[in-house]
Structure 1
Amino acid sequence: METNVFPPNVYAATCPTRQVLSLIGDKWTALIIGLLDDGPKRFSELQREIHGISQKMLAQTLRRLERDGVISRTIYPEVPPHVEYELTPLGETLGAPLAAIRDWAEQHIGEIAAARTVYDERN
């Protein structure tokens, strides 16, 4: 893939790194990576553990992550076919940064909820 900006610069409108930021900033990506950080999972396991994700959205997100080399999909020749998803070495590098963001969200939700209440009451 050719880039229009060298070196990569996420602040440049034409830089493909913006697409990467969009991918890793997606809530479904952060949740999928978190679950796969513990090891391979089947589609049904991912869907069961990520409350609120539709089958369509899970499939789309998994395809995007596979296309970008973040996860791999292995099909086992069984009846019915057994498919597992797991992090690639590249995907493993996302585990810690996304875990830090998930942890931050859980640690600070009280403060955020309080700030929203104050803001909403003012406006």
Structure 2
Amino acid sequence: MHDTTTEPTTITGAHRELLDQLLDRWSLEVLDRLCEHGALRFNGLRREIPAITQKSLTATLRRLERNGMVERVVVSDRPVAVEYRIAPVGQGLQDLIDALLQWSTRHMADVEAARERYDDAEAARE
């Protein structure tokens, strides 16, 4: 249901690109952890998300930083220590992330059942 007091938002290429990058394999999880903890160092994020590789985490953090969602803050220079934090633009993401995770949890059984029906129908066609 759309709010009738404003015009509906048109989904543009820029919207699709941003959402693809925010909802990709690791970004949502990195954002969730940073929203939860406030700030984490690289290795802290690796401990929080053990399945992510160093290369994937680096690429994800760079992509999120480029999109203005995450800030990279040097906290000391000897030895160099860097923290990652949610940037002001990303501050409102926690409620959206929580809503997506709650929705997906609530509907996962239905999604799995739909996938199974689809796969069974596809197998029957072959």
TM-score by length of 2: 0.77
Q: CA 1:19/1:118 → structure 2, altered by over 3 Å: closer, same or farther?
A: closer
Q: Please, which runs of 5 or more residues in structure 2 have no aligned partner?
A: 1-8
Give the equivalent residue in structure 1 for 2:11: 10
Give the equivalent residue in structure 1 for 2:21: 23
Once the two structures are superposed, the pairs formed by residues 50-61 of structure 1 within 5 Å of their partners are 50-61=49-60
SS of 2:91's partner is helix
Give the equivalent residue in structure 1 for 2:5: none
Once the two structures are superposed, the pairs formed by residues 64-103 of structure 1 within 5 Å of their partners are 64-103=63-102
Q: Say whether residues 1:113 and 2:112 are aligned partners.
A: yes
- Report the AA paired with residue 85 of structure 2: E
TM-score by length of 1: 0.79
User: How many pairs does the alignment contain?
Assistant: 113
- Report the AA paired with residue 55 of structure 2: K
SS of 2:92's partner is helix
Q: Please, which runs of 5 or more residues in structure 1 have no aligned partner?
A: 1-7
Larger radius of gyration: 2
Query: What is the rounded CA distance, in whole Å, between the counterparts of 1:105 and 1:58 in structure 2?
Result: 23
Structure 1 runs, 4 residues or longer, greater than 4 Å off:
none
SS of 1:69's partner is coil
Q: CA 1:85/1:116 → structure 2, altered by over 3 Å: closer, same or farther?
A: same
SS of 1:26's partner is coil
Identity of aligned residues (%): 35
Which whole-Å deviations, capped at 9, do the CAs of 1:66-94 have from their partners, x for residues lacking one?
11211111112254322111101111122
Query: What is the rounded CA distance, in whole Å, between the counterparts of 1:101 and 1:55 in structure 2?
Result: 26
Q: CA 1:100/1:27 → structure 2, altered by over 3 Å: closer, same or farther?
A: farther
